[in-house]
A and B are shown apart, each in its own frame.
Chain A
């Protein structure tokens, strides 16, 4: 299928093996993105993933990603990394990196479970700025990591902040369950990234959440653009729905 405009990948990282400088990382990502018809990619985290990042690590990763965006502003956008355990620093990074640019969203990983009250001022600030929060969500059969949010945790947070838009990353990883958890919480959209290209992933997300609430993401460089795009390209859904998932939903949610 062809879509009007390129694909938007809402969820990538500048993993260290892609390159050691913003220039090298951008070049590697663009080489593969071009082959796959991906026009824009949303950056977060940094070359090394820090489960409990210090303020210095947060700032270094945000600067690294801002530099990539500065090199190719038409191909990359970014989410401000923050650690909600360091609330004042988190709020100052939001002001610094979003209000003053170039970031257009907030990334939350596993430093703190998202049901914690520290998230409230962050969500309020996101609503004021009109930017979405990309929250990692996972369901491990052996129990989630300390500080790792489940889809149900994100639903609880999203219910407290109806004016904020959340991207539920990985659809909870256990997507059969995650898509159902997210179904009734309208201010959550789900991304399809990470995990194996299990057949049925995107169909299930569309069935439970509607095609307007599903975003394509890859989790590159840890994952291949190809395996993750396959979830959408190979899905038994209409071409119109694929276009929403590959591009137009991201444009709407991220104000691109």
Chain B
């Protein structure tokens, strides 16, 4: 859970960096997207490193989901429905930790939609295009407010997922010590805020006409 989560967080940060290229214009954005296909070339065949990354990411996602389902099933077994508390009160748990399971499902559904939308372009609100820049600009026009809304909600859910996930991964990997607990939580909060804002800026900039 922790290791695959860490891989996915590192990927998200790289992905966010790429997205922010939108503010450098169409040429920079499309050029960056194209350069991803040539990463490692000519050492590796064209698209080689991209496919290696895709396989690593897919494996991470699948292992992450498997671990999550196993933890969920164990929790269900450890406190079956008949043994639920009649009155239950949250004492310390954060809202972020509360959203981990259903938020994870939402994120998984979003990722599928996201790939169909902006990677393969099978779903193309506002028209298909070979330019990643145009796909993005077309997809987040004000008339497709529902696409933007789903995107915004999903990214906020990703932020909450990271807020608890990064802290939890660090604790699982043994990094937590009493005097460090505040620092680890601050790191988790910091990264999740940066990632949330970094992913929200490009589509909102399109919707509000700052990028066209």
Partners in one complex: no
User: Interface residues, chain A, CB within 8 Å of chain B?
Assistant: none
